[in-house]
Amino acid sequence: AVSETIGSGGGGIAALPESDTICRYLTSKYRDVGPSFLPDDPRSNLIARLHDVYVAPVQGCLYKPAGYPFGIHRMRKDAVAELRKQLGIIDGAIEEGGETDGLYLCGREVSLADATLFPTMVFVKYMLPKFDVPENEALPPKIGAWFDAVKEGDPDFARVYDEVHGALEQWDANGRWDTIWMAGVRDAAPETIFDKIVAGDIPASIVRDEKDLLAFEDINPASPAHVLVIPKDRAGLSSLRESTPEHIEILGKLLVAAGEIARDESLGFGDGARIVINDGKDGGQEVPHLHVHVLGGRELTWPPG
């Protein structure tokens, strides 16, 4: 959801999810028309807030092209994982809510939570399987049971489902996901020795082990200090020429790590280092898994060989 920014009395800025603002305006304006949507129900408000604050900002990872930040995430795989985590939290909120006798999330009357969550779940149920999530696991158990029940039991929700689902099918027909990483585009290249090092199947002298990257000493050093820095998940980066905006964050992490390693005197580095990415056959690349060479420990000449 888009956010609406307003000034606060103390001079700060507060962001309100647009869907929440609009829904509350409509339920107030037309309070005597149709259902109330339970604007003061604590459970409904909790679910709607969790959706608007934590799910809406990252759901674009399922359909937006490379280059967009997905909430606080730049890497699509992290955003997909965050989306699934937040759906699990919402599922827990539903489960912890107590009495749920009725078709809707808060019982027998439709709520803001139902109206907020349902369209997004149409998206999620359709799209997550494209990211190798089993179809029966796209929605958590409580959300999935509610989704199926309300789609079948409420004609208004059925109509919303048909409209959104039909639009998604048209996106599919137009090739919307053909160029989306993890959906239409995957890393199908064979494993390399670096994958085996990451998996621990081949020993290496590890100097740095982080969530997304690994650094280890080169077994054939070209200088007294020679460390390789690699992404743990190659994610299509068989060479630097294969990089796309999907890789902005990991490329930055690799270079930051390389710079920090180059300052580490315990590894043999002195006053500076040469930080190199060999790219392709003409560039001298031997392993088709992007890696950054950090060389030092002596004065290096230029040009290289």
Length of the chain counted residue by residue: 305
Dihedral angle, C-alpha 11, 17, 19, 23, nearest 10 °: -50
- Here the tokens at position 60 are 């674009």
Question: What distance in Å separates the CA atoms of residue 143 and residue 73, rounded to the nearest whole number?
Answer: 24
* pLDDT > 90? residue 169: yes
Catalytic residue among 51, 247, 291, 293: 291
The DSSP result for 214-264, as a single string, is EEEE-SS-SSSEEEEEEESS-TT-SSGGG--GGGHHHHHHHHHHHHHHHT-
pLDDT-derived band at 4, boundaries 50, 70, 90: very low
Find the mean pLDDT for residues 152-174. 97
Is residue 294 a contact partner of residue 273, using CB atoms and an 8 Å limit?
Answer: yes
Looking at residue 272, the DSSP 8-state letter turns out to be B
295 — pLDDT class (breaks 50, 70, 90): very high
User: For the range 167-174, what are the long-range contacts, defined as Cβ-Cβ under 8 Å and sequence gap of 24 or more?
Assistant: 168/122, 168/123, 168/126, 168/127, 171/63
Omega prior to 288 cis, within 30 of 0? no
What is the pLDDT, as a whole number, of residue 288? 97
Indicate if the pLDDT at residue 270 is higher than 60. Answer: yes
> Dihedral of the CA atoms 197, 203, 207, 208 (nearest 10)?
40
Annotation says 226 is catalytic: no
What's the pTM value of the predicted model, to 2 decimals?
Answer: 0.84
How far is residue 208 from each of residues 133, 212, 217, measured CA to CA in Å? 31, 11, 10
Amino acid 18: pLDDT:
61
- pLDDT per residue over 194-236, tens digit each? 999 999 999 999 999 999 999 999 999 999 999 999 999 999 9
Q: What is the DSSP string of 51-107?
A: IIIIITTTGGGGTPPTT--BTTBSSHHHHHHHHHHHHHHHHHHHHTT----SSBTTB
Question: 99-139, pLDDT tens digit by residue?
Answer: 457 899 998 899 999 999 999 999 999 999 999 999 999 99
